[in-house]
Chains A and B, each alone.
Chain A
């Protein structure tokens, strides 16, 4: 690991000033950053430790019915917050399906949003990667692309965004509050992560020195509480990143879908909001045929790269399954295996 200067600011303003220097990186829990630094993938010359900043570890109910989650709230604390999990169950389920208990206990909300891709070529410094080393090329493009993006990719980069948490956040119109040298601003999470285009090293809209201070969910997001699920296919039952995942949320009135939300994970460099599919669902009766049509619509622009051809149909089926589970209703208790296809109380026959 390259050595670095360590600074521990006591205010957000000091943190922003310290992180505006070239080569600086914010340190919160460090569960992703230290791993990247140990591998020589990320080589900051200064760490700005924000983990001791006051007031960023709160979960606040807002007067308008929404919720504001401080950037330093631990993933596990948010998932276990009863009031939060009751109102935003798909978000809690996504959090509990991610990483391991030890990592969820440490990792923060802000860090989850800013985590880097797990593309094996990004991690392997012996290969070419435009994200790690701009202009060097993309060895994944003609390489083992089984787990890579099927939507929104470019010739420069076919990596995916690894977060589970962000998938329901995108479905539920979360807003990210950031602070920088020019003050505070808000960015809808749907636009926060950038597609690779010709600059895959720029992964989000943060400017130099800007930090995430909070994430807000609007009151409308809680209207889906009784019909909201997150479903995730992984290569082992627990402690694995998504091959493909889906967050589905329905507002059902008189057996009709009044409003639908659908977002996919593991298919692109950002959580993929399927707005056309949502429009197709609105006003229809909740049944398998309309779910299948919505899923087909969601993947209509998919372009696989060979090794990941299977992901397109897998994503359709996971979207259908997530919508079906959402229509069945949010379980009373968090499933023993969160977001798993193998959870006993999912009430859907495995391999249906």
Chain B
């Protein structure tokens, strides 16, 4: 069943033709667009490694059918930095060692950007942990991740918070 979908990915409109309606948004990004920054962990919506921002909201791309997301605006880890200038969340993850092996990190960062855009966490570590609970880190870098999200929140400031996503 030949199908196609047109997406805006990191600001660029792309039309992708594929032959199987089972292709997930995750596989479309990795296998068809060669954007392999988004990781495939569990592929069942449990680990958050595949988190991307679609139409301004963070979702698990492994549980999204590509064909159903025709017309969507997708932001992946490849699209958050401006040239050599890292996104404040990326800077904060570096500054606070919010990673060890790094496999979950793209998902963590996209999830954190989504969390800050949602504006629910404030400066409360408890709310940050709750808001990040959909992203597992098997190295256990949670302490650094929480600190990084709190610092990024400060860096971005209340005024620009709505613009990051």
Which residues in A have some Cβ–Cβ distance to B below 8 Å?
A: 1, 3-6, 8, 27, 29-31, 34-35, 38-39, 47, 49, 51-52, 74, 76, 80, 99-103, 105-106, 237-239, 336-338, 344
Contact = CB atoms under 8 A, between A and B. Distances in A.
B4 to A, nearest CB: 12
16 contacts: A1-B22, A3-B21, A6-B3, A6-B21, A34-B24, A35-B44, A38-B43, A38-B44, A99-B134, A101-B115, A101-B131, A103-B63, A105-B58, A105-B114, A106-B60, A106-B64
Interface stretch (B76-84, B96-104, B121-129): B121-129
A233 B48 CA distance: 23
A132 to B, nearest CB: 17
Contacts of B51: 102
A38 B44 CA distance: 8
Contacts of A76: 57, 118
A8 B21 CA distance: 12
Given A106-B64, A238-B133, 16 more contacts: A3-B1, A5-B1, A6-B67, A29-B63, A30-B63, A34-B45, A34-B64, A76-B57, A76-B118, A80-B118, A100-B48, A100-B133, A102-B48, A102-B134, A337-B126, A344-B126
Most B CB contacts (10 A, CB to CB) among A80, A238, A336, A337 go to A336
B65 interface: yes
Contacts of B64: 29-30, 34, 106
Nearest to B48: A102
Given A38-B44, A105-B58, A336-B124, A47 B134 contact: no
A30 B25 CA distance: 12
A35 B45 contact: yes
Q: Which of B51, B63, B118, B132 is the most central at the interface, judged by chain A CB atoms within 10 Å of its CB?
A: B63
Nearest to B125: A336
A52 B51 CA distance: 22
Give the interface size bracket for B toward A: 35 or more
A106 B114 CA distance: 13
A307 B135 CA distance: 31
A67 to B, nearest CB: 22
Contact of B60 (A1, A102, A238): A102
Nearest to A79: B120
Q: Which of B20, B59, B127, B130 has the most CB of A within 10 A?
A: B130
Nearest to B69: A51
Which 9 A-B pairs give the minimum distances between C-beta atoms?
A: A100-B134, A238-B133, A336-B126, A6-B21, A105-B57, A239-B133, A106-B59, A102-B134, A336-B127
A30 B65 contact: yes
A101 B114 contact: yes
A49 B63 CA distance: 14
B111 interface: yes
Q: Which of A5, A8, A38 has the most CB of B within 10 A?
A: A38
A34 B24 CA distance: 9
B68 interface: yes
Contacts of A6: 1, 3, 21, 65, 67
Contact of B21 (A47, A101, A102): A47
